[in-house]
Amino acid sequence: MQSVNQYFLNIYIAIKSVLIGMSITFRHLFTKSVTVQYPRERLPIPGTSRNLLLNKIEDCIGCDQCVRVCPVNCITMDTIKVFPEDDLGLASDGSKKRLWLPRFDIDMAKCCYCGLCTYPCPTECLIMTDEYEYATYERNDLVFKFTDLDPIQIAELKEKDHIRSMEKEKKKLETAKQAAAKPGKNGGKSGEGT
Partner 1 sequence: MIQAEYYNIFVKIIDQLAVLDFLPPVWKFILASVIAALVFFHVIAIFALVAIWVERKVAGHIQDRLGPMETGWHGVLQTLADAIKLLIKEDIIAGGIDRRLFVLAPVIVFMTALAVFVVFPVGENFIVSDLNIGILYIVAISTLVVPGIIMAGWSSNNKWSLFGAMRSAAQIVSYEVPVGLAIVCAVMAAGSLSMQTIVESQAGGFWNWFIFSKFPFGFIAFFIYFVASLAEINRTPFDLPEAESEIVAGYMTEYSGMRWSFFFLAEYGNMLAVGAIATTLFLGGWQTPISLLSFIPGPVWFTAKTMFLVFVHIWLRWTLPRLRVDQLMYMCWKVLTPFAFVSIFGIGLWMTF
Partner 2 sequence: MPEIKTDDVYIELGKHPKAGFATDDMILQMGPQHPSTHGVLRIECVTDGEIIKKATCHIGYLHRCFEKHAENVMWQGVIPFTDRMDYLASMGQNFSYVITVEKLMGIEVPERAEYMRVITAELQRIASHLMAYGTYGMDIGAFTPFLWAFREREYVLDLFEKLCGARLLYNYMWIGGVSHDVYDGFAEECMSFLDTFERVVFEEFNPILTYNKIFIERTANVGILSPELAIDYGITGPCLRGSGVDWDLRRDDPYSIYDRFDFEVITGKGEMGTVGDCWDRFMVRVLEMIESVKIIRQALQQMPEGPIMNEKIKKVIRVPAGRVYGRTEAPRGELGYYLISDGKGRGPNRLKARSPCFSNLSVLEEISRGCMLADLIAIIGSLDIVLGCVDR
Q: Which residues bind partner 2 (CB under 8 A)?
A: 10, 13-14, 16-18, 20-21, 24-25, 34, 46, 48-50, 65, 68-72, 112-116, 119-120, 128
Question: To the nearest whole angstrom, how small is the minimum distance from the Cβ of residue 107 to partner 1?
Answer: 34
Question: To the nearest whole angstrom, how small is the minimum distance from the Cβ of residue 133 to partner 1?
Answer: 18
The strand order across the sheet containing 75-81 reads 75-81, 99-107, 143-145
What is the distance between the alpha carbons of residues 111 and 117, in angstroms, rounded to a whole number? 11
Question: To the nearest whole angstrom, how small is the minimum distance from the Cβ of residue 26 to partner 1?
Answer: 7
Q: Which of residues 19-38 bind partner 1 (CB under 8 A)?
A: 21-22, 24-26, 28-35, 37
Extended beta strands in 28-135, E state: 53-55, 75-81, 99-107, 126-128
Q: How many residues bind partner 1 (CB under 8 A)?
A: 16
Rg (CA), the chain: 33
Question: To the nearest whole angstrom, how small is the minimum distance from the Cβ of residue 148 to partner 2?
Answer: 26
Q: Residue 42: left if φ>0, alpha if ψ -120 to 50, beta else—which one?
A: beta
User: Taking the mean position of all CA atoms in its chain, how far away is CA 154?
Assistant: 22
Residue number, 21 or 120, with CB nearest to partner 1: 21
Residue number, 63 or 80, with CB nearest to partner 2: 63
